[in-house]
């Protein structure tokens, strides 16, 4: 099979991002290589707004074209919007009310599924935003990744990355390029979802699969950090109720 081609926009992004990432941090990659061909769902943790930059390089180093699901408002940003369109990224629309939000989310998932069917690699952050856990561990996640995983018979690969929040802490608006940081990425083996594929896609099944995916991500994050993770997943709602 031929190597996947990213086109001129991906080449332009590579020209800009590779030296930028090299300047910002030393990259350490661990784990197996990504599949060279065919649809792949890459499930990752999210700790900084810089994550997509480093994750794109990780995927590109594996000779794949990185594609992300990102909030649609980014498509309105001058220059960036054209880059996102040209690079084939997937906008996630959010409606003004609950019904509109559900419809928009469904449409975004349909676009993502079509891409997986066409043999593309999709990077997804099930948390939906950078984690609110004070220590940077994954928080309770949305079920969109589980829906995609169950609807498409493609490798579902967990991965974790650590070090980007030391560079840029989005919640505290702190950018600390010096001293030069280390960003460690760990790729895992494909997750076996055969036990779930013949089951009806219920809310319970989606939650179980979501927690399975993020549980594997958390295990890989332990390797990246060299620390043991806490039990369960951080819940911003529970933390607020407890006055944390």
Mean pLDDT along residues 130-139: 97
DSSP 33: P
Pick from 2, 187, 11: which is nearest to 88 by CA?
A: 11
Mean pLDDT along residues 219-228: 98
Pick from 157, 155, 159: which is nearest to 138 by CA?
A: 159
Which pLDDT belongs to residue 111? 92
Asked whether residue 111 is domain-assigned, the answer is: no
Mean pLDDT along residues 118-139: 96
Asked whether residue 85 is domain-assigned, the answer is: no
> Domain residues for 58?
24-68+119-239
Helix or strand or coil: residue 41? strand
Asked whether residue 100 is domain-assigned, the answer is: no
Whole-angstrom distance, CA of residue 13 vs CA of residue 4:
16
pLDDT grade for 6, boundaries at 50, 70 and 90? confident
pLDDT (tens digit per residue) in 22-56 = 999 999 999 999 999 999 999 999 999 999 999 99
Could you give the number of structural domains in the chain? Answer: 1
- Tokens 């700790």, residue? 47
Instruction: Tell me the C-alpha to C-alpha distance, in Å, between residue 215 and each of 147, 209, 231.
Output: 16, 10, 10
Which pLDDT belongs to residue 39? 97
Asked whether residue 229 is domain-assigned, the answer is: yes
pLDDT (tens digit per residue) in 80-119 = 888 888 989 998 876 656 677 677 778 889 999 999 999 9
Which pLDDT belongs to residue 107? 87
Q: Which residue has the higher pLDDT, 66 or 244?
A: 66
Asked whether residue 234 is domain-assigned, the answer is: yes
Mean pLDDT of the chain: 92
Pick from 219, 153, 211: which is nearest to 188 by CA?
A: 219
Asked whether residue 114 is domain-assigned, the answer is: no
Asked whether residue 13 is domain-assigned, the answer is: no
Which pLDDT belongs to residue 10? 92
User: By percentage, how much of the chain surpasses pLDDT 70?
Assistant: 96
Entry pTM: 0.94
Asked whether residue 150 is domain-assigned, the answer is: yes
pLDDT grade for 168, boundaries at 50, 70 and 90? very high
Which pLDDT belongs to residue 101? 67
Pick from 166, 130, 179, 122: which is nearest to 147 by CA?
A: 122
Task: Please enumerate in sequence order all residues whose Cβ is within 8 A of that of 15, keeping only pairs 6 or more positions apart, or say none.
Answer: none
């Amino acid at each position: 099979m031929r190597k996947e081609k990213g086109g001129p926009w991906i080449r332009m992004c590579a020209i800009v991002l590779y030296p930028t990432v090299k300047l910002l941090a030393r990259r350490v990659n661990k784990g197996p290589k990504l599949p060279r061909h065919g649809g792949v769902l890459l499930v990752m943790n999210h700790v900084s707004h810089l994550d997509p930059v480093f994750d794109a390089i990780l995927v590109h180093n594996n000779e794949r074209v990185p594609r992300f699901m990102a909030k649609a408002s980014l498509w309105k940003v001058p220059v960036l919007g054209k880059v996102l369109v040209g690079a084939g990224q997937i906008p996630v629309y959010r409606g003004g009310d609950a019904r509109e939000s559900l419809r928009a989310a469904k449409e975004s998932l349909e676009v993502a599924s079509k891409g997986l069917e066409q043999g593309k690699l999709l990077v997804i952050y099930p948390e939906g935003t950078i984690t609110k856990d004070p220590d940077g561990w994954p928080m309770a996640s949305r079920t969109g990744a589980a829906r995609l995983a169950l609807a498409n018979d493609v490798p579902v690969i967990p991965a974790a990355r650590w070090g980007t929040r030391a560079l840029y802490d989005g919640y505290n608006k702190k950018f600390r390029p010096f001293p030069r940081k280390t960003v460690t990425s760990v790729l895992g083996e494909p997750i076996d979802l055969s036990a779930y594929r013949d089951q009806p896609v219920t809310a319970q099944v989606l939650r179980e699969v979501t927690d399975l995916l993020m549980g594997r991500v958390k295990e890989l994050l332990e390797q990246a950090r060299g620390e043991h993770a806490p039990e369960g997943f951080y819940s911003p709602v529970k933390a607020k109720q407890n006055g944390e």
